[in-house]
Amino acid sequence: MGLVHTKAIVFKTIKYGDTSLIVKCFTFEEGIRSYMVKGVLNSKKGKLKAAYFQPLTQLQLVANHNNKNTLNSIREAQIVHPYYTIHTSVVKQTIVLFLSEILAAIIQEEEKNEGLYTYIETALIWLDTHTEVANFHLLFLLNLSRFLGFYPDTSESEKIGFNLVEGSFTNSLHEKLTLYNDKLLLLKRLLGINFDAINTISFHKNERQTILRIIVKYFELHLEGFRQPKSLDILETVFN
């Protein structure tokens, strides 16, 4: 068992018994790790507080990591990027719940992935510090696919369709799982932009629902075992 100092982003928290939590984190140093945090729910004086383990909170940890398939333990934790608006905005909270559910489901590797960690960290700080965030989750997911190895191939974007299975543009008229016309235009508006250009895109609510369901379908096709997130309906309700 080794002592590790690492940044970590909370992906998922499960209550264990009356007073404890099992917390799944994406750590900067060693990828996904799960921790048993004992007694944190009834502790007034302990060093660890339940508030540290809200979805997508960014922490600095001192932790014991073991290399067996058992839960790790946290010695010390502190919040490294306190959020100022995420906890007070219903829209941002809903986005965070939705994205934490997806991230917890798809990122499983117990190894360092500096690029992916930095992307998630930076994106969350952007979300906290900006007000125009209605399309944030769309762009977050689409750009996340780059780190997962299936970002759309945009080299032939002048073609008439986009095949979701192949992840590339096509001139075939009748392929299954292919976007044409309006749906294709929705996808094209998101391709190749970063968060700072997000306010240049405007989707009305039906368009936003449509492109979100397309992106979720794209993830289903490219990630084995990926299921439509439970929080998808809540997200759509909030944006209505």
For the beta sheet containing 178-180, the strands, ordered from the edge strand earlier in sequence to the opposite edge, are: 168-170, 161-163, 178-180
Query: Residue 91 and residue 98: Cα distance in Å, rounded?
Result: 11
Residues 6 or more apart in contact with residue 27 via CB below 8 angstroms: 4, 6, 7, 8, 33, 61, 63
* Residue 19 Cα distances to 36, 51, 71, 144, angstroms: 11, 14, 16, 35
Query: Residue 7 and residue 5: Cα distance in Å, rounded?
Result: 7
Query: Residue 78 and residue 65: Cα distance in Å, rounded?
Result: 18
Query: Residue 205 and residue 72: Cα distance in Å, rounded?
Result: 43
Rg value, the chain, Cα:
19
Q: Specify whether the CB–CB gap between 72 and 212 falls below 8 A.
A: no
pLDDT of residue 131: 93
Please report, for the chain, the start and end positions of each structural domain, with discontinuous segments joined by +.
2-79, 90-239
pLDDT of residue 119: 98
Provide the sign of the torsion angle of the four alpha carbons 90, 93, 99, 102, taken in this order.
Answer: negative
Map residue 24 onto helix, strand or coil: strand
Query: Residue 81 and residue 104: Cα distance in Å, rounded?
Result: 20
Residues 6 or more apart in contact with residue 83 via CB below 8 angstroms: 57, 124, 128
N- to C-terminal Cα separation, the chain: 49
Query: Residue 201 and residue 5: Cα distance in Å, rounded?
Result: 40
pLDDT, tens digit only, all 240 positions of the chain: 689 999 999 999 999 999 999 999 999 999 999 999 998 888 777 789 889 999 999 999 999 998 777 899 999 999 999 999 999 999 999 999 999 999 999 999 989 999 999 999 999 999 999 999 999 999 999 999 999 999 999 999 999 999 999 999 999 988 889 999 999 999 999 998 999 999 889 899 899 999 999 999 999 999 999 999 999 999 988 887
pLDDT of residue 1: 62
Two tokens at 73? Answer: 């333990």
The CATH superfamily holding the domain 2-79 is: Nucleic acid-binding proteins (2.40.50.140)
The residue to which tokens 């007073």 are assigned: 19
Map residue 77 onto helix, strand or coil: strand
Per CATH, which fold does 90-239 belong to? de novo design (two linked rop proteins) (1.20.1440)
